[in-house]
Amino acid sequence: MHRGTLLLGSGNQHRVVGVMQVWDDEQWVQNFRMRKATFMGLCEELAPTLRRKDTRLRAALTVEKRVAIAIWKLATPDCYRSVANQFGVGKSTVGIVLMQVCKAINHILLRRTVTPGNVQDIVAGFEQMGFPNCRGAIDGMHIPILAPPHLASECINRKGYFSMVLQELVDHRGRFIDINAGWPRKVHDARIFRNTAITVGEIEKPTVILGDPAYPLMPWLMKPYTGSLDTSKERFNYRLSRCRMTMECAFGHLKGRWRSLYGKLDLAEHSIPAVISACCTLHNICEGKGEMFTQAWTSEVQHLEAEFAQPESRAIRGAQLLHFRMSIIRDGS
């Protein structure tokens, strides 16, 4: 059921809040990207930071309403005025509440949600996909933003729109285990990497992470072979590319759930990294809770991506990858 249908007859003010009480889980997921139980659990975690006292002039917004406003804004490309009308609050209140909730998410949940967890499980997961001793895949994603008032030229990417770069390390399940948000697009992926506190320790054997050609080749960072390739190098590239598909899946789910990331974030430049980080944290929470992700969301993302294409390089062209997949099938490997 579409959001507009859900809200019919619920009045001009507090429209969402009024019908939230009767939504089933499917309606909760469509509107908030999570079931009611997950939403209420999130509110409980954030309550100590978000709870406010009533004043003589007005009653404070409840924790649940604050979180609902922020999640709604993150999950939709709606403008501040539209969100304000849905919840019966002022336009400026939406902006204030959004940052309060995002900062609370980052303060309380980020460090224990965006984490490697059990490295042995990650290594085993990637080994099942064909790449041994791997503990993650790394890449960057461009987040469209409005033109910043200062140094705007530093934020224009090769596709011609203003953006910030989110660099992420993901595990074999498509969950983020390390993030670095807020770099202007003119900064090369390799420089972001050099300035990021990503480290690769040792378990029983030295482990590696997997990157694309933009990253430097290091003893613990593998990237694809380029140029003329023999069969063994093609096989290496295929397996590396297959494991890096977890990154594509993670980016797809992140953008599909939190569509505001593709709506030119209308925020002060210094506030954008907090919103991006909060979306990554919410992504991991939803993935960990097994929240549904629908094909319709993927279609919405593809429509948005047509306007904001990702300017990224690929080590293996589609035709090359298809050719090698066919050779593997023929060889029975």
pLDDT, one tens digit per residue, over 200-253 is 554 456 899 999 988 888 889 999 999 899 999 999 999 999 999 999 999 999
- Residue whose token pair is 């054997």: 205
Residue 104's domain comprises 3-113
pTM of this structure:
0.83
Do residues 228 and 321 both lie within one domain? Answer: yes
Do residues 107 and 123 both lie within one domain? Answer: no
- Residue whose token pair is 């099938």: 329
Do residues 126 and 101 both lie within one domain? Answer: no
CB 241 within 8 A of CB 317: no
CB 116 within 8 A of CB 135: yes
Do residues 68 and 185 both lie within one domain? Answer: no
Do residues 101 and 161 both lie within one domain? Answer: no
What is the DSSP-derived secondary structure letter of residue 57? S
pLDDT for the residue numbered 301:
78
Do residues 142 and 107 both lie within one domain? Answer: no
Domain boundary among 58, 89, 113: 113
Strand partners, 134: 208
Residues with Cβ within 8 Å of 200's Cβ and at least 6 positions away in sequence, in order, are 135, 206, 207, 208, 209, 220, 221
pLDDT for the residue numbered 54:
80
Do residues 141 and 263 both lie within one domain? Answer: yes
pLDDT for the residue numbered 204:
53
Do residues 86 and 146 both lie within one domain? Answer: no
> What's the chain's length in residues?
333
Residues with Cβ within 8 Å of 6's Cβ and at least 6 positions away in sequence, in order, are 19, 23, 27, 31
Return per-residue pLDDT of the chain as tens, 333 residues: 334 333 333 344 456 766 777 889 999 999 999 999 999 999 999 999 999 988 888 889 999 999 999 999 999 989 999 999 999 999 999 999 999 999 999 999 999 999 998 999 999 999 999 999 999 999 988 888 887 776 666 677 777 778 888 999 999 999 999 998 875 544 444 444 444 445 455 445 689 999 998 888 888 999 999 989 999 999 999 999 999 999 999 999 999 999 999 877 888 888 999 999 999 999 999 999 999 999 899 888 787 777 787 775 443 333 333 333 333 333 333
Do residues 85 and 183 both lie within one domain? Answer: no
Residues with Cβ within 8 Å of 164's Cβ and at least 6 positions away in sequence, in order, are 142, 143, 145, 155, 181, 182, 183, 184, 185, 272, 273, 276
pLDDT for the residue numbered 163:
84
Strand partners, 226: none
Report the side by side order of strands in the sheet with 134-144.
176-184, 163-170, 134-144, 208-210, 221-222
Domain boundary among 81, 97, 113: 113
CB 176 within 8 A of CB 114: yes
Domain boundary among 85, 113, 141: 113
pLDDT for the residue numbered 164:
85
Do residues 304 and 164 both lie within one domain? Answer: yes
Do residues 125 and 109 both lie within one domain? Answer: no
CA 260 from centroid of its chain's CA atoms: 11
Do residues 87 and 210 both lie within one domain? Answer: no
The number of distinct structural domains making up the chain is 2
